[in-house]
Structure 1
Amino acid sequence: MMSNSRKKLVEISNLKKYFKLDRHNTVKAVDGLNFDIYKGETFGLVGESGCGKSTAGRTILRLYQATDGEVLFKGEKVHEKKSKHELKVFNQRMQMIFQDPYASLNPRMTVIDIIAEGLDIHGLSNSRKERIQKVNELLETVGLNREHGNRYPYEFSGGQRQRIGIARALAVNPEFIVADEPISALDVSIQAQVVNLLKKLQKEQELTYLFIAHDLSMVRHISDRVGVMYLGNMAEVATSRELYKNPLHPYTKVLLSAVPIPDPKLERTRKRIEVKGEMPSPIDPPSGCVFRTRCPLANDVCAKEKPIFQEVKQDHWVACHMYDDRYRTEFNK
């Protein structure tokens, strides 16, 4: 859970990541994100496929070099030039759990070698005996048996492979982990087990997570705060409880209206919010507010000016002209 001291661990300022396709076309995958992640919390990042959330996670970890903007980890600039030693230290403190447990594990390596790779790189074991002992402890930590160490990835189920991926991330004792849709490739019956494991590990090892997902119900279960992304931009950030109880941005309301309710009576009677068309291309995003082409409330000002991402109540941030004092009257006509 989030620490009461609310000490910032990661600070993201105007983060941009563009991919140049050719002389004329550039994909604006991440286009100016601003948010903080506090030590000990889980920050959930949600949005439709293609909104840029996975790219944001990889850019925060420097797996992609940022096009513009800044990421601070414990006050240190992530994307400034670093020596090999500085990069090594930095990479030990920040790790990633990947989406696909089938593609992220080397099929030619045993589980021991996969998990111990970080130990070897960072010199965290002094002997072969200590190396095996640490791997065995990690296997047990994630709910696997010591005997699994000599096997290969193809011998495991998807849920077991993801546990191996989690053990690999934990091996170097990180402080911050980006979990990039870690449950989306798993059976529904296994998803809750993996999420509960992540929560248990967070409590035991004082970890901080950026949890990327498109399943809003699961994000609600694990996250202290939630950020909603749309077409490379942050639409809204609030505590998990506040966001689900009182969403402000029209896009957040659309997403939440599509989440199934367990009660059949309530599910039949509730009103779903419909939106027009598909998400525009990040190669040619709309002018002004990027959601305006699908927003049921959009008016002229939305096309002319990009909304400011601002705090409209305590710990509740939104990028929408409806909540800007300069344009509020435009939406009340």
Structure 2
Amino acid sequence: MIDQREKLLEIKDLKKHFPMAGKTVLKAVDGITFDIYKGETFGLVGESGCGKSTAGRTIMRLYEATEGEVDYQGENVHGKKSAKELKKFNRSMQMIFQDPYASLNPRMTVKDIIAEGIDIHGLAKSKQERLNLVNQLLETVGLNQEHGNRYPHEFSGGQRQRIGIARALAVNPEFIVADEAISALDVSIQAQVVNLMRELQEERGLTYLFIAHDLSMVKHISDRVGVMYLGNMAEVATSDDLYHEPLHPYTQALLSAIPISDPEVERSRERIIIEGDVPSPINPPSGCRFRTRCPLAMDVCAKVEPEWQEYTKDHWVACHLYNDKYNEEHKARQAVKN
């Protein structure tokens, strides 16, 4: 249940730019703003290369922000911190990575992988307590205690991701970034991992940032969803509002591509085809970044960057179609069509 009164994270105009050869700059994340409430799952979606994983890693401070703020419980994550403060912060925020095999040390036993955070933060007073904590975590994620003596290569992809979840839980975090945590798994295993994450959220009061490109899965796990395109936020809304009344043309196109199980509805509905390639984040289009592929683009879209606005309660969008100052051209076009 979302507690609307308590924001856990406030992301304010966050930017992450990477210097390239010469004077060129890759603008992976270029000014995104949204909040994450305590106890909710915030889904972050978009095409590959839109900057969603970079956003997650910058929020976690795995990357230093170029500009902007990430406020965690009112404290700027990217402010100067002492080693002691960083250690406390790192315990409260953890990450589950996309490729569980690449993120697990192949030379360490599962027991030692899970206990790494316990050791760093001094959460066990003895070897026996350490072992007990690891065994509890293995059982929590649906694995057996004897699995602790094995190595990562001895497990399936789904089991390895459970090990990754256990490692993240070991330090009792409050906030977890799941970066494409299920995309490398079979569909049946994806559902099992998502159900496990939901159970853990209810039991432990966790807050998730769930990064994915599969919009159908994001719908089932997320309370609210943000849509990114080429380093910018296009839209943020509750899961129900976004899937039933998408505002941004990009969101509408993404949702129109999700298959529907009812064949009658599937045949009758309109598919929105996004033509052209995603522009380079090194040299993004002027104005609205989606305008070069948008079927509803207007003259103003090339000149003015759309304002990030709350169009209806809790439904944010960056599109000139919803700004009375600029959408007369769109209304005129619709009148001609009708």
Q: Does 1:160 align with 2:124?
A: no
Q: Does 1:77 align with 2:79?
A: no
Alignment partner, residue 29 of structure 1: 28
Q: 3-state DSSP class of the match of 2:35?
A: strand
| CA deviation after TM superposition for structure 1 residue 264, in Å | 1.9
User: Counterparts in 2 of 1:1-333, with a 5 A limit?
Assistant: 1-3=1-3, 5-333=4-332
User: What are the superposed Cα offsets for residues 102-147 of structure 1, whole Å, 9 maximum, x if unpaired?
Assistant: 1110000000000000000000011100000000000000000001
User: What are the superposed Cα offsets for residues 237-256 of structure 1, whole Å, 9 maximum, x if unpaired?
Assistant: 00000000000000000000
The structure-2 alpha-carbon separation of the partners of 1:17 and 1:316, relative to structure 1 and needing over 3 Å to count, comes to same
State the TM-score, normalized to the length of structure 2: 0.97
CA distance, structure 2, for counterparts of residue 310 and residue 120 of structure 1: 45
Q: 3-state DSSP class of the match of 2:125?
A: coil
CA distance, structure 1, for counterparts of residue 140 and residue 2 of structure 2: 22
CA distance, structure 1, for counterparts of residue 259 and residue 215 of structure 2: 10
Q: Which amino acid aligns with 1:234?
A: M
Q: 3-state DSSP class of the match of 1:332?
A: helix
CA distance, structure 1, for counterparts of residue 68 and residue 2 of structure 2: 26
| CA deviation after TM superposition for structure 1 residue 24, in Å | 2.5
CA distance, structure 2, for counterparts of residue 292 and residue 284 of structure 1: 14
CA distance, structure 2, for counterparts of residue 135 and residue 264 of structure 1: 48
Alignment partner, residue 335 of structure 2: none
User: What are the superposed Cα offsets for residues 197-220 of structure 1, whole Å, 9 maximum, x if unpaired?
Assistant: 000000000000000000000000
User: What are the superposed Cα offsets for residues 69-104 of structure 1, whole Å, 9 maximum, x if unpaired?
Assistant: 000000011001111101000000000000001111
State the TM-score, normalized to the length of structure 1: 0.99
CA distance, structure 1, for counterparts of residue 239 and residue 28 of structure 2: 25
Q: Which amino acid aligns with 2:289?
A: V
For structure 1, the residue ranges without an aligned partner over 5 or more in a row are none
For structure 2, the residue ranges without an aligned partner over 5 or more in a row are 333-338
| Regions of 4+ moved over 2 Å | none
Q: CA RMSD in A?
A: 0.7
Q: 3-state DSSP class of the match of 1:253?
A: helix
Percent of counterpart pairs with the same letter?
74
| CA deviation after TM superposition for structure 1 residue 19, in Å | 0.4
Aligned length: 332
Q: 3-state DSSP class of the match of 2:311?
A: strand
CA distance, structure 1, for counterparts of residue 87 and residue 147 of structure 2: 29
